[in-house]
Amino acid sequence: MKESSRPIGVAVLGMGNVGTEVVRILTEKAADLQARIGAPLELRGVAVRDLSKERKGVDRALLTDDPMALVQRDDVDLVVELLGGIKPARKLILAALEGGKSVVTANKALMAEHSGELSKAAEDHRVDLYFEAAVAGAIPVIRPLTQSLAGDSVNRVAGIVNGTTNFILSEMAESGAGYGKVLAEAGRLGYAEADPTADVEGYDAASKAAILASIAFHSRVTASEVHREGITGISAKDFDAAKKFDCTIKLLAICERIDVDGEQKISARVYPALVPLDHPLATVNGAFNAVAVEAENAGRLMFYGQGAGGAPTASAVLGDLVMAARNRVFHGRGPLESTYAGLPVASIDEVPTRYYVSMKVADVAGVLHQVSGEFAKRGISIAAVRQEGAGDDARLIVVTHRASDRAQSDTVAALEKMDSVLKVSSVLRLEGTND
Ligand X SMILES: N[C@@H](CC=O)C(=O)O
Ligand Y SMILES: NC(=O)C1=CN([C@@H]2O[C@H](COP(=O)(O)OP(=O)(O)OC[C@H]3O[C@@H](n4cnc5c(N)ncnc54)[C@H](OP(=O)(O)O)[C@@H]3O)[C@@H](O)[C@H]2O)C=CC1
Q: Report in angstroms how near the CB of residue 66 gets to ligand Y at its nearest.
A: 8
Q: How far apart are CA 427 and CA 405, in angstroms?
A: 12
Going by the DSSP 8-state scheme, the letter that residue 43 receives in this structure is: E
Q: How far is the CB of 242 from ligand X (least distance, A)?
A: 22
Nearer to ligand X, 307 or 334 (CB): 307
User: 320 touches which of ligand X, ligand Y, none (CB within 5 to 8 A by kind)?
Assistant: none
Q: Which is nearer to ligand X, 208 or 328 (CB)?
A: 208
By CB under 6 A, residue 199 contacts ligand X: yes
Q: Does 20 show up as a binding residue in the annotation? A: yes
Residue 262 and residue 242 in contact, taking contact as beta carbons nearer than 8 Å: no
**Region for 429 from its dihedrals, namely left if φ exceeds 0, alpha if ψ lies in -120 to 50, beta otherwise:** beta
From 63-71, 139-147, 188-196, 377-385, give the range in contact with ligand X by CB under 6 A: 188-196
Q: Beta strand pairing status for 102-105 and 382-388?
A: unpaired
CA atoms of 288 and 276, how far apart (whole Å): 18
Q: Does 17 bind ligand X (CB under 6 A)?
A: no
- Exposure pattern of 319-341 as b/e (b: 16+ CB <10 Å)? bbbbbbbbbbbbeeebeeeebee
Flag whether 19 is marked binding.
yes
One of 64, 107, 115, 164 touching ligand X (CB under 6 A): 164
Stretch that binds ligand X, among 7-15, 82-90, 186-194, 220-228 (CB under 6 A): 186-194
Amino acid at 320: D
Scan residues 93-132 and list those touching ligand Y (CB under 6 A). 106-108
Rounded CA separation 270/258 (Å) = 16
User: Is 132 or 204 the residue whose CB approaches ligand X more closely?
Assistant: 204
* 108 assigned ligand-binding residue: yes
Would you say 114 or 354 has its CB closer to ligand Y? 114
Q: Which is nearer to ligand X, 160 or 396 (CB)?
A: 160
In the complex, least distance from residue 82 CB atom to ligand X, rounded to whole angstroms: 12
**Which positions ≥6 away from 9 have C-beta within 8 Å?**
42, 44, 73, 75, 76, 77, 78
Sign of the Cα torsion 21, 26, 29, 32 reads positive
Q: Angle at the Cα of 404 (from 400 to 406), degrees rounded to 5?
A: 105
Distance (Å, whole) CA 435 – CA 422: 29
Does 48 sit near ligand Y (CB under 6 A)? yes
Stretch touching ligand X by CB under 6 A, among 80-88, 162-170, 223-231, 238-246: 162-170
Reported as half-sphere exposure (CB side, CA atoms, 13 A), residue 51 has a value of: 11
Interface pick for ligand X out of 137, 159, 230, 334 (rule CB under 6 A): 137
For residue 162, the partner it binds in ligand Y, ligand X, none, with Cβ less than 5 to 8 A by kind, is ligand X
Of the two residues 190 and 334, which places its CB atom closer to ligand X in the complex?
A: 190
CA distances from 86 to 94, 330, 394 (A): 12, 32, 71
Type of residue at 321: L
Consult the annotation and say whether 193 binds a ligand: yes
Catalytic positions: 208
129's CB contacts (< 8 A; 6+ apart) are 93, 97, 102, 103, 105, 118, 119, 121, 122
107, interface contact from ligand Y, ligand X, none, CB < 5-8 Å by kind = ligand Y
Q: Which stretch binds ligand Y (CB under 6 A): 13-21, 173-181, 249-257, 344-352?
A: 13-21
Pick from ligand Y, ligand X, none: which does 199 bind, CB < 5 to 8 A by kind?
ligand X
396 is in an annotated binding site: no
Binding status of residue 159 toward ligand Y by CB under 6 A: no
Strand partners, 271: 252
User: Is the distance from CB of 51 to CB of 15 less than 8 angstroms?
Assistant: no
Question: What does 272 bind: ligand X, ligand Y, none (CB cut-off 5 to 8 Å by kind)?
Answer: none
Cis? peptide before 140, omega within 30° of 0: no
Site for ligand Y in 60-89 (CB under 6 A): 67, 82-84, 88
How far is it, in rounded angstroms, from Cα 305 to Cα 323?
21
Query: Nearer Cβ to ligand Y, position 83 or 200?
Result: 83
Among 14, 230, 272, 307, binds ligand X (CB under 6 A): 307
**Can you give the binding site for ligand X, defined by CB under 6 A?**
137, 162-164, 191-193, 199, 204, 307-308
- Binding-site annotation: residue ranges for L-homoserine: 193
**Can you give the binding site for ligand Y, defined by CB under 6 A?**
14-19, 47-50, 53, 67, 82-84, 88, 106-108, 133, 137, 190-191, 193-194, 308-309, 313
- Binding-site annotation: residue ranges for NADPH: 108
